[in-house]
A and B are shown apart, each in its own frame.
Chain A
């Protein structure tokens, strides 16, 4: 199993550009989520999904869109990048909702917005 994979590993954008961060898992997990990690702030939940076709907002959803058309994939879209979105982004998955279930994290995408 590859586990949770994320592409790209690094990305530099200019303000106003759009892009999609890819996330895929091969563990048949129902629950997937996106976090951003900023220095001194831990990980903050952006969006999550409890299954194909179902998504919901987390703590910091503004400026990001998600969709879940398959169990395996959960892409994160930045509609119009801003310098405040410079961060490291992690995708995670678990068998069911986070409660009592181990979350498996991807290796992360480091995004810089100029």
Chain B
């Protein structure tokens, strides 16, 4: 079955700096790659997604890039702010969703 790895598991950045989280997957048939943000005590919430026929997608301060050949995709957050502190999960959809283990991001003042 699909295997999704996510790195790093924790990430601390200074407020205003950029953050990058990377996920790799194993099934080349997977074709939809969303990113979720989970705040403490809440359910995950979709923040951005990308389909397999697109290489990059941006939405204000966040962007996702996809390299289908290498089977990895990354979340980029620019100008990190305190409200960006949360756990971020990547997911891969082939037959069903498979989630990565998560990255705890801390934006330090």
Give the number of residue pairs across the A-B interface with Cβ within 8 Å. Answer: 57
A42 interface neighbour in B1, B45, B101, Cβ under 8 Å: B101
* A77 → chain B closest CB, angstroms: 20
Q: With A and B bound together, what is the CA distance between A89 and B49 in angstroms? A: 23
Does B71 make an interface contact (CB < 8 A)? no
Contact B101 A41 (CB under 8 A): yes
B interface residues (Cβ-Cβ under 8 A, vs A): 1, 4, 6, 9, 31-32, 34, 36, 41-46, 49, 51, 89, 93, 96-102
Residue on A nearest B101 in the bound complex, by CB: A42
Q: A59-B96, A59-B98 are in contact. List 17 more A-B contacts (CB 8 A).
A: A4-B43, A40-B9, A42-B4, A42-B100, A42-B102, A43-B44, A43-B99, A45-B98, A90-B43, A92-B43, A99-B32, A100-B32, A105-B43, A105-B44, A105-B45, A106-B43, A107-B41
Residue on A nearest B42 in the bound complex, by CB: A107
* B84 → chain A closest CB, angstroms: 19
Does A44 make an interface contact (CB < 8 A)? yes
Residues in chain B near residue A103, CB distance under 8 A: 34, 46, 97
Residues in chain A near residue B9, CB distance under 8 A: 40
Contact B89 A102 (CB under 8 A): no
For chain A, which range describes its interface: under 10, 10 to 19, 20 to 34, or 35 or more residues?
A: 20 to 34
Q: With A and B bound together, what is the CA distance between A45 and B1 in angstroms? A: 13
Contact B96 A98 (CB under 8 A): yes
Q: With A and B bound together, what is the CA distance between A99 and B95 in angstroms? A: 9
Q: With A and B bound together, what is the CA distance between A21 and B3 in angstroms? A: 28
Contact B44 A99 (CB under 8 A): no
Does A74 make an interface contact (CB < 8 A)? no
Q: With A and B bound together, what is the CA distance between A43 and B102 in angstroms? A: 9
Residue on B nearest A35 in the bound complex, by CB: B99
Residues in chain B near residue A99, CB distance under 8 A: 31-32, 93
Q: With A and B bound together, what is the CA distance between A33 and B41 in angstroms? A: 19
Contact A44 B96 (CB under 8 A): no
Contact code string A30-71 (vs B, CB < 8 Å = 1, else 0)? 000101000011111100100000000011000000000000
Contact B43 A107 (CB under 8 A): yes
